[in-house]
Amino acid sequence: MKILGLATMTESAAVLLEDGVVTAAAEEERFSRVKHQSGVPYRALEWALESRGLSLGDLDQVALYWNPYDLAFRARFMAGTALRSPSLFAERVRRSVTVLRGPEEGADAGWGSMFQLRALLEERYGVVPPVVNYDHHTSHMASCFYPAPFEEAAILIMDGAGESACTSWGFGRGTGIDVLEQHHLPHSLGHFYSAITGYLGFGMLDGEYKVMGLSPYGDPDEVATWIRSRFLISPQRGRYELVPGVLDYHRALRGHFPGAFAERFGPPRQPGDPLEQRHKDVAAGAQRAFEEVVLDMARALRERTGARNLVIAGGCGLNCVSNGKLLAHAGFDQIYVPPVPHDAGGALGAALLAHVRAEGIRPARIDHAQFGPDITQAEVEAALAERPDLKGERLEPQAIPQRCAETIASGGIVAWVQGRAEFGPRALGNRSFLADPRRADVGDQINVEVKRREPFRPFAPSVKAERADDYFELGQPSPFMTIITPVRPERRAEIPAVTHVDGTARPQTVEREVNPRYWEVLDCFERLTGVPLLLNTSFNIQEPIVLTPREALDTFSRSKIAGLALGDYWVTRVAPAG
């Protein structure tokens, strides 16, 4: 059975599932080069089909990760808002219009595209299989439970909002998924965290990870205590509520921050303004408040289900600090967060749901994210032929990892582009900048000179899976960089570039069988230095992660780093004449 899963709002994506196995998956932004691309993912779906020699008419079903016809709750919610606060109602109407039309105001962008999806696909491609809508949070549940290595698990979904649900509890066993409990609008942990992001002067729906990275620099006590008593409260164990009017998400989207939060902690920071200690304290307090609520829910969910393992999805699943706290303190043996917990993963979940409901069997598990476009030798050579300023030296395949490790060990930063692109927001060993984790100064160098981003941003390590427990208090696989965990105290001085200010790191465990060529780089570096890990950050500069050889060469030429391993080619710059 062949199924195409689609996500068509923010983080639009396409996933091709064949007989329960993912054969192609990519986010539209990798093709369009527009971060958080919304709308129908034409480029991604066309690539996915072409990569398998298929047309849309060859498929059995198109599965969409949202049911736009489920409008009853939102209608009641908007009516209640109009009665309570006409000004807030106006803000939410503006937001609804934007979401409906999409940022490009076209029929194939925004929520409106979901109502017209079949017509849009027929107009463009002709014959179209049945198009089926699946509930947003149920799609998220499928995206994290079915690929997980557990026969049964508790399920926790947290994001901005689906059709009406903002947080969902579930339990999965075999092919079955049961929804146990939900928090509905306006009680959204995603909206809470995004409003804090806007207050701190970072881009909402984009800069939430900056709040997470900034939080260890602040004192959380006063802010967290205030938030938990005045804003994000817990009326009973395992439940939470947002108090209206304290800090509103929809107003924050327009740069407006009236309410008790700004009255208590001062005016919002403007983008580009210096970061004051109060901003760091707000980040720390908001992160702690978020963690307290999530940990409380997870413990209640464990007691209710009796499950030994937990799976997590929704945009809040990208809060790796919280995930680490859950692993350490919620009482579960293991947790699993897929490589695409955010909305792009809804395309995966919808496809998996369609498969299970049609076939009655569980799809294949997912232990890697290498589902995107591959690179070919012909593409590399064609791209190099267009760049007289760059020189490509073809090496034997086994020599590429050794050359990279030697360059890194001698102080250089390299770019690594191999095989199929990763599906999701993380560079997991196929589209990466790599550097020496022993160099205390390399993080500042990459942030300032290479990535051109804020100096407080931390870096993650990739580590040989068999050596991970020697360096990190992890105790389980972490192949997708979704869990932040303490670095063992005796190792922190050894790997300062990937140890955050609070003594933690976000490791990726690399299995030799899963990504042998990337594992070889780590192994070569260990044989040279005794350290089985590297600093790994995404290969991009203020853009989506690179996809093609041409993009790799362009980004390399702007990065001022030592070399680029592009397939079997070692790429350097041509020395200026004279």
Instruction: Give per-residue pLDDT as tens, 557-566.
Output: 999 899 999 9
DSSP single-letter state for residue 336: E
How many residues belong to the chain?
578
pLDDT at 112: 73
Side chain identity at 39, as an amino acid letter? Answer: G
Q: Could you give phi then psi for residue 36, rounded to 5 degrees? A: 60, 40
Give the percent of the chain with pLDDT over 90: 88
Decide: helix, strand or coil at residue 378. helix
Residue 115: band (very low, low, confident or very high) from pLDDT cuts 50, 70, 90: confident
Ramachandran category for residue 102: left, alpha or beta (phi over 0 → left; psi -120 to 50 → alpha): left
Q: Mean pLDDT over residues 353-371, rounded? A: 97
pLDDT at 327: 98
Residue 97: band (very low, low, confident or very high) from pLDDT cuts 50, 70, 90: very low
Residue 578 lies in a domain: no
User: Tokens standing for 505?
Assistant: 């790191």
Burial profile 403-419: b = 16 or more Cβ within 10 angstroms, e = fewer: bbbebbbeeebbbbbbb
Task: Summarize pLDDT for 129-178 with one digit per residue, the tens.
Answer: 999 999 999 999 999 999 999 999 999 999 999 999 999 999 999 999 99
Cβ proximity of 537 and 433 under 8 Å: yes
Residue 449 lies in a domain: yes
Residue 457 sits in the same domain as residue 475: yes
pLDDT at 460: 97
Q: Is the pLDDT of residue 578 over 70?
A: no
Residue 168 lies in a domain: no
Q: Is the pLDDT of residue 100 over 70?
A: no
How far does CA 262 lie from the centroid of its chain?
29
Residue 407 sits in the same domain as residue 441: yes
pLDDT at 86: 60
Range of the domain at 198: 183-336
Decide: helix, strand or coil at residue 25. strand
Residue whose token pair is 């160099």: 439
Residue 24 sits in the same domain as residue 124: yes
Nearest Cα to Cα of residue 347 among 132, 157, 179, 139: 139
Residue 448: band (very low, low, confident or very high) from pLDDT cuts 50, 70, 90: confident
CA-angle at 314, arms to 248 and 269, nearest 5°:
35
Residue 468 lies in a domain: yes
Instruction: Indicate the range of 2-11, 93-102, 273-282 predicted with least confidence.
Output: 93-102
CA-angle at 286, arms to 285 and 291, nearest 5°:
100
Residue 90: band (very low, low, confident or very high) from pLDDT cuts 50, 70, 90: low
Q: Mean pLDDT over residues 87-91, rounded? A: 53
Average pLDDT score, the chain: 93
pLDDT at 76: 52
CA distance 516 to 396: 15
Residue 389 sits in the same domain as residue 314: no
Residue 173 lies in a domain: no
Residue 463 sits in the same domain as residue 566: yes
Does the CA dihedral 520-521-526-532 come out positive or negative?
Answer: negative
Q: Mean pLDDT over residues 208-221, rounded? A: 97
CA distance 459 to 499: 8
Could you tell me the CATH number of the domain that includes residue 227? Answer: 3.30.420.40
User: Tokens standing for 448?
Assistant: 């300032």
Residue 161 lies in a domain: no
Residue 271 sits in the same domain as residue 344: no
Could you tell me the CATH number of the domain that includes residue 554? Answer: 3.90.870.20
pLDDT at 85: 57
Beta pairing partners, 512: none
pLDDT at 105: 46
pLDDT at 78: 47
Residue 418 sits in the same domain as residue 538: yes
Residue 278 lies in a domain: yes
CA distance 382 to 385: 5
Residue 307 sits in the same domain as residue 401: no
pLDDT at 214: 97
Per the structure, the count of domains in the chain is 3
Q: Is the pLDDT of residue 81 over 80?
A: no
pLDDT at 91: 55
Indicate the helix (H) or strand (E) that contains 169.
strand 165-173
CA distance 539 to 451: 9
Residue 108 sits in the same domain as residue 136: yes
Task: Summarize pLDDT for 485-534 with one digit per residue, the tens.
Answer: 999 999 999 999 999 999 999 999 999 999 999 999 999 999 999 999 99
Residue 429 sits in the same domain as residue 559: yes
Cβ proximity of 510 and 518 under 8 Å: yes
Cβ proximity of 487 and 406 under 8 Å: no
Residue 210 sits in the same domain as residue 344: no
Cα torsion at 152, 156, 162, 163 (round to 10°)? Answer: 60
Q: What is the DSSP string of 214-231?
A: HGGGS--HHHHHHHHHHT
* 3-state secondary structure string across 478-526: CCCCCCCEEECHHHCCCCHHHCCCCCEECCEEECCCCCHHHHHHHHHHH
Burial profile 171-205: b = 16 or more Cβ within 10 angstroms, e = fewer: bbeeeebebeebbbbbbbbbbbbbbbbbbbbbebe
Ramachandran category for residue 270: left, alpha or beta (phi over 0 → left; psi -120 to 50 → alpha): beta
Residue 445 lies in a domain: yes
Cβ neighbours of 307 (radius 10 Å): 20
Residue 349 sits in the same domain as residue 411: no
Instruction: Indicate the range of 68-82, 217-231, 413-427, 542-556 predicted with least confidence.
Output: 68-82
Q: Mean pLDDT over residues 342-351, rounded? A: 98
Ramachandran category for residue 387: left, alpha or beta (phi over 0 → left; psi -120 to 50 → alpha): beta
Domain end marker among 283, 317, 336: 336
Instruction: Give pTM, 2 decimals.
Output: 0.93
